[in-house]
Structure 1
Amino acid sequence: MLPKTNMRKKILILLLFPLLFGSCQYFPKQVPSEQDLLQKELKAINWNEVDEFPSVVSCDSITDREQKKQCFFEYLTALIQQKLNIDTLGVLYPKLDTINVKVTVLPNATMEFETQGIDSLSYNHAAIDSIIKTRLVDFPDIHPALKRGIPVKTQFVLPVILNVQ
């Protein structure tokens, strides 16, 4: 009888061993709160960069992120130059060869423009802004920048060369 009891004990121990030491679900776990998880995720997000830059239809086929960004900036700069060269900006201010235009692309795919760095003593800043705001309308569809799949506002400054022939 002794060997059978000993054998039963060994079998019982072998069956209970995985249950006692192998199941972590029976031990209390430290579960982080929603606020802790949210704060951790918010800290992991780089708020200074967008996941996708603004784009236009002609640049959508480009898959490389930097090339797509460059395509958008070149397209927008050329379009702004084209629209401003139609006007009298070059005639009114012949010494003004380059202006910096601050472009804001809003989440609803609209754009706003503002001149930057123009010497207000030499040039009438209000008149230049007025010309820019009246000329820079009717742009083709712009896709806003995306951050985690959500359209966001982006701003950048483009140097625009005037009187390009």
Structure 2
Amino acid sequence: MQKFLFLLMVVFLTSCELFQSKAVRTENKVQEDLLAIDWNDVDSYPLFDTCDENAPKSTQRSCFQENMFNYFSSAFSDAQFEVDTDINETLHVDFKIDEHGFITILEIEENVKINELLPGFNAEISSRLNDLTTVAPALKQGNPVSMKFRLPLVLNTTN
């Protein structure tokens, strides 16, 4: 009987959770929950007015991509550049949609060949995309979050 009481006392005294305060247990739970979140994915993509916020995530993504493509296409529809040689290059435009839905150009990839053949091309891209519209921001766990995107801009003058 004494061995049983001793064993019970050892188990009782070594159980740390019995002595943790409610705040410590809550903090531990919060840390576990934070580690379980996939921070590389969002619950819903940024949405334009024409996109359905109740649609599945894949549909939201397609709608977002289509609207961005249309916006970029219209921004460059009247652009005319003259070159003497064929170009088949891809530039990447990095932009961010912040937690308020504002779209900002972060960086336009430098390309030596394009800079030589089309001086000022990056400045032209920046000025045409400077007045980007706003969208509903991406959501993560019901909270608006910012997202970064990379858009390929293909320049092809070959026949």
Aligned counterparts, 1:39-118, within 5 A:
39-60=31-52, 63-88=55-80, 90-91=81-82, 95=87, 98-113=90-105, 114-116=107-109, 118=110
The number of equivalent residue pairs is: 133
- What is the deviation of 1:61? 5.6
Q: Secondary structure at the match of 1:157?
A: strand
| Residues 101, 158 of structure 1: alpha-carbon distance in 2 compared, 3 angstrom cutoff | same
Q: Which amino acid aligns with 1:33?
A: R
Q: Secondary structure at the match of 1:124?
A: helix
**Counterpart-to-counterpart distance in 1, 2:100 and 2:139:** 11
**Counterpart-to-counterpart distance in 2, 1:81 and 1:162:** 13
**Counterpart-to-counterpart distance in 1, 2:54 and 2:32:** 33
Point out where structure 1 has 5 or more consecutive residues left out of the alignment. 1-28
Does the 8 Å CA contact 2:97/2:147 hold for their aligned counterparts?
Answer: yes
- What is the deviation of 1:137? 3.3
| Residues 40, 62 of structure 1: alpha-carbon distance in 2 compared, 3 angstrom cutoff | closer
Task: Look at both structures and tell me which one has the larger radius of gyration over its CA atoms.
Answer: 1
Q: Secondary structure at the match of 1:160?
A: strand
Point out where structure 2 has 5 or more consecutive residues left out of the alignment. 1-16
- What is the deviation of 1:159? 2.3
Does the 8 Å CA contact 2:75/2:129 hold for their aligned counterparts?
Answer: yes
Is 2:112 the counterpart of 1:132? no
Is 2:111 the counterpart of 1:154? no
Give me the CA root mean square deviation.
Answer: 2.9
